[in-house]
Amino acid sequence: MLLNPSARDPAARSRLIAALTVPVVLWPLFRAAEVEPGALFDPDNLKVIGHFLAAFLPPESGAEFLGYLARATLETLAIATAGMVLAFLLAVPLAYLATGAGREQPTLNPLTRSLLTVLRGIPELVWALLFVRVFGLGPAAGVLALGLTYGGMLAKVYAEILESVDAAPARVLRHNGAGRPLAMLYGLLPLASKELASYTVYRWECAIRASVVMGFVGAGGLGQLMDQAMKMLNGGEAATILLTFMLLVFSADGLSGWLRRSLDRPPANRPSPFGGRSAFFGLALLAGAVASFKYRDIDLASLWRLEAVNSIGTFVADFFPPDLSADWLDKVARGVWETLAISVVGTLLAAVAGMLLALPRRWMPFTVLLNTLRSVPELVWATMTVLAVGLGPFAGALALALHTAGVLGRLYAEALANAPPAAGCALRLAGAPGSPAFCYGTLPGAAPQLVAYTLYRWEMNIRMAAILGFVGAGGLGQLLYVELSLFHQARASTVIVAMLLLSIAVDQASAWLRRKMH
């Protein structure tokens, strides 16, 4: 059947509207992010970044410094593990309250869901900064910050996992007189145990990265050592710390992947209804947590002493009521717009770079580059981009783009590898060159997954964009850091509320866009 060449494309109108709308929306965001590519090639900036990078060689290898480094590495692992246990202890009861699973008439608890939104909506670095102000420098602030943010994340995902498994066994137990806790314990948990354990292991891997970042506000570990080295412009020490952190991240990635693959293997026959491997990993996590608390003498029980409670109460009271003066709200609104611009521009630049890096995915140098980009935290990239282009939101957008390019490049490569091959093969058999066959055959099949990955990453980037200002990269983070440094808690409270509302708004917008794409 021959197609009429003059027939109109039915999607032409929507494509034209999209083509005209995208530049109109993106232009003011690029302006707000102060995107100036020429700043990357400014002679003065090139001279500063050149001297800074040159100072990275050779890496510091003195025995005294390596001793400090070893202790900071162990402290980072201790913070991550202890924080995960605290998050788990918080997540289990919250997930039980939030989920409708196990109820005869499934209903959700809106109050608990709102609490989870607050816990995970405020970045862990903000919690860490607040706890450092109350309890002083040290790992306790990092453990508490991880416990709150990751507790909210774990509880939300745990509730969704329990709601996704077959509810028939739990319903049978309820109809036979069992209470809801027993129905969930024996009816739902055995079916969901592998997925619950797998996600917990993945979050521990993320907690190691987060514990490094929190050191930048004084919460201990490698991050605190890195912050000191960067502020002193000691490139040799910074290089050794960065190499150690990359090795730690690669090791955590490998261990986490091995643990998750172990959970996916068919289990041997056993009498336990909950799964031997899941129980083993739970005991291993508990043992690691005990060792972590003992290693750094993290005494969270002291937080409940009268003096600590009074200190917390006084500190929290200073945040209320938030400053709602017109001048301050106007300044916060500009910070919100700047933060949104940083997240959008950074994610778009990363999407372009990630796609270019994903195409030659079988070449080892590109794999190493992807792993390097994503293993360096955004806050570390931001300290470098601030030197390259100066203070401001453009440095934040570049830092986000560098880290996210590594993340998206890996995800894009997997999506392209898993795309249906039939269309691309048909075009190549019909004589189409490789590029058109990819663009019109492979890419459309992978497009929904590529878009979903990009939107999910944008949700995460909005939280990171809100705190890059801690090192001078603009946005709400810069406002918050300045106001807390000046002990203006009421103004800081307004900024934290703005961060939370912006995070919720981006989550909702991303979810809406994903539904529209389907």
pLDDT value at 349 more than 90 = yes
Task: Judge whether residue 254 has pLDDT over 90.
Answer: no
pLDDT in tens, 84-124: 888 999 998 988 888 766 565 555 567 887 888 888 888 88
Q: Is the model's pLDDT at 296 over the cut of 60?
A: no
Q: Which of 7-11, 94-98, 378-382 has the lowest mean pLDDT?
A: 7-11
Mean pLDDT of 224-233: 80
What is the pLDDT at residue 449?
80
Dump the DSSP string for 346-402: HHHHHHHHHHHHHTTTTSHHHHHHHHHHHHS-HHHHHHHHHHHH-SSHHHHHHHHHH
Asked whether the predicted pLDDT for residue 49 surpasses 80, the reply is no
Q: Which of 285, 322, 358, 299 is nearest to 81 (CA)?
A: 285
Give me the pLDDT at residue 1, please.
Answer: 42
Domains and CATH numbers, the chain: 20-54+322-518 (1.10.3720.10), 61-317 (1.10.3720.10)
pLDDT at 6: 47
Mean pLDDT on 503-510: 84
- Is the pLDDT score of 337 beyond 90? yes
Across the range 151-157, mean pLDDT stands at 88
Mean of pLDDT over the chain: 79
The mean per-residue pLDDT over the stretch 315-343 comes to: 89
Q: How confident is the model at residue 5 (pLDDT cuts 50, 70, 90)?
A: very low
Spatial contact of 153 and 203, defined as CB atoms under 8 Å apart: yes
Residue 402's pLDDT is what?
93
Of 168, 146, 154, the residue nearest 83 (C-alpha) = 146
| Predicted pLDDT of residue 327 | 92
Report for 16-25, 157-166, 463-472: range of highest mean pLDDT: 463-472
* pLDDT greater than 80 at residue 345: yes
- Percent of the chain exceeding pLDDT 90 equals 10
SS3 sequence of 310-353: HHHHHHHHCCCCCCCCHHHHHHHHHHHHHHHHHHHHHHHHHHHH
Q: Which residues of 104-116 are buried (b: 16+ CB within 10 A; e: fewer)?
A: eeeeebeebbebb
Report residue 422's pLDDT band, with 50, 70 and 90 as the boundaries. Answer: confident
Q: Note the Cα 510 to chain centre separation in Å.
A: 15
pLDDT over threshold 90, residue 334: yes
Listed range (52-61, 296-305, 497-506) with the worst mean pLDDT: 296-305
> What one-character-per-residue DSSP string does 279-317 give?
HHHHHHHHHHHHHHHHHHT--GGGGGSHHHHHHHHHHHH
Q: What is the DSSP letter of 487?
A: T
- Which pLDDT band holds residue 298 (cuts at 50, 70, 90)? low
